[in-house]
Amino acid sequence: MNEAEHWEEIYSTKPVTQVGWYAPHLENSMKWIAELNLAADDPIIDVGGGASTLIDDLLQLDHRKLTYLDLSQRAIQLTKERLGKPSSAITWLCGDVTKIELPSKYYCLWHDRAVFHFLIEPEVQQIYRDSILKALKIGGYFLIGAFSLNAPPKCSGLPVQRYTSEILCKTFGKDFALRRHQNETHNTPSGVEQEYVYCLFQRTA
């Protein structure tokens, strides 16, 4: 089973409220995004949105240029159904973030909660970094939530790479400046604790 098939099976066999990464609202992400004071027309991409409600909350804040990218067509379908008519205002992309073609120097914010930590090969991590450099404007922001060193070594049956803010700084390098970071404990629907490290970077070059 390849990665796309894995996630199709997850979203086809489990209620979205029962997957391990589910949260009613991504409160930390939304707080940080709101404090950036982005304009309504500043383009935002949510990478690996799954069936999270981040896109709903961004719409509520009147953001009008939203892109949702996920590997699972089923996750996209479920999110569209939940949103209803407002879903027509969103750009929906189904594909692998390390392979899909994204517009150049377009986005003002790249959001990723729980995608990058599944990329465990260094060469794939580099492709991901290159994708951000291509798609994110100079001065744009990159907000990432990944498993911390205290988190489990696997998620949804797949191995993950665990991070600290220092490791993430080294991973993304001199083109990004760290603006803020914090750790957050996420309680899964089954009661398991997963600690995330959140980092907000700004592209400087």
Tokens found for residue 156: 């949804």
pLDDT at 21 over 90: no
Bridge partners (DSSP) listed for residue 46 = 68, 111
What is the reported pLDDT for 16?
Answer: 84
pLDDT digits 0-9 by tens, 84-93: 999 999 999 9
pLDDT digits 0-9 by tens, 64-81: 999 999 999 999 999 999
What is the reported pLDDT for 31?
Answer: 97
Q: How many CB atoms lie within 10 A of CB 89?
A: 12
pLDDT digits 0-9 by tens, 137-181: 999 999 999 999 999 999 988 999 999 999 999 999 889 999 999
Tokens found for residue 135: 């798609």
pTM of the model: 0.95
**How buried is 164 (Cβ within 10 angstroms: 0-12 exposed, 13-18 middle, 19+ buried)?**
middle
Higher pLDDT, 23 or 68: 68
| Rounded-to-integer distance, Cα 19 and Cα 43, Å | 28
Domains of the chain in start order, with CATH, are 3-203 (3.40.50.150)
Tokens found for residue 43: 């383009």
**What mean pLDDT value characterizes the chain?**
95
Q: Are 143 and 33 in contact (CB under 8 A)?
A: yes
The separation between CA 138 and the C-alpha centre of its own chain, rounded to angstroms, equals 19
Q: How many CB atoms lie within 10 A of CB 60?
A: 11
What is the reported pLDDT for 20?
Answer: 76
Helix (H) or strand (E) holding 82: helix 73-83
Reduce the DSSP state of residue 53 to 3 states and report it. coil
Torsion angles phi and psi, residue 58, rounded to 5: -65, -40
| Rounded-to-integer distance, Cα 99 and Cα 97, Å | 5
- Helix then strand then coil, in percent of the chain rounded to 5, is 35, 30, 35
